[in-house]
Every structure is written in structure tokens, then in C-alpha cells.
Amino acid sequence: MPFKMDIKEQKEGIFVARMEGSLDTETALLFDESVKPYLAPPTKALILDMSKLAYITSMGLGSIFQARKALEAGGGKLIITNPQPQIKKVFEIVKALPRSLIFESIEEIDRYLDAMQKKEIK
């Protein structure tokens, strides 16, 4: 299944990457190239919407973890939303992402990000 990704700014410094298809050995490089411009400030958060991602391999996981590491180095966060059950299971098995950064919807992420921003202001 081919891989597609569309990245749009939702709010200032917060980007949503809608993923579709399979993130595997053949498509991980496309993912890496697509997210590269968003892995440094002024990006505050990169949200990976996995509602249409059907399959992921260890190579795809590796690309996601590299993106997370790069974002955190610049003070940003990588957030996952809408993972399909099979994708969610892979993350649970490898226990590689904090559960606090996996959300069921964009609305849930908005509440989280609002709370984080209010915390920074105080």
C-alpha cells in the first residue's frame, strides 16, 4: 500500500501530519524527508494523525523515534493521534512512546496543548 502524508499548520508552531497507507522499509525515507522541515524550532508540536495508516514496520518506527528525538532536542513534542488498533498494538509492544503522547482525537490533543501553553505562561 503506498504511503502518503500531508502536513499542515493547525496553529502557530503546531503541525498536523496526516498519514495514509504503510510506513515501512520502502516508505520510511519519504516520511523522513517530509517531516525534516518540521523537526526544529519554531515547531512546538508535530502531530502524527494515524487514522488512515494501515501498517507500520520497525523501519517506520525508527523514523518516528528519530523525529521524536530531533523535536525534543529543540523543545518540541511529537504526538500521535487516531492510531488504528493494529498500529496502537505495535506501540504498546515496543513501549517506545510515553502513553501520555498518544491521543484518540485532535480535540483531546487541543486540550493537552492548551494546558501545556497555560503552564508555560505561569
Distance (Å, rounded) from C-alpha 71 to C-alpha 69? 6
pLDDT tens digits for 25-40? 899 999 999 999 999 9
- Phi and psi dihedrals of 44, rounded to 5? -95, -35
Q: Which CATH number fits domain 4-121: 1.10.10.10, 3.30.750.24, 3.40.50.720, 3.30.360.10?
A: 3.30.750.24
**Inter-residue contact 7 to 40 (CB < 8 Å):** no
pLDDT of residue 117: 58
Helix ranges (H only) for the chain are 28-35, 58-73, 85-94, 106-121
Could you give the percent of the chain with pLDDT greater than 90?
A: 61
Per-residue model confidence as pLDDT tens digits over 51-79: 999 999 888 989 999 999 999 999 999 99
CA-to-CA distance for 63 and 114, rounded, in angstroms? 27
| pLDDT confidence of residue 87 | 87
The pTM score is: 0.80
The two beta strands, 14-23 and 4-11, are antiparallel
Output the pLDDT for position 92: 74
Q: What is the mean pLDDT of the chain?
A: 86
In this structure, which amino acid lies at residue 48? L
How far is it, in rounded angstroms, from Cα 114 to Cα 112?
Answer: 6
Q: What is the mean pLDDT of residues 85-97?
A: 75
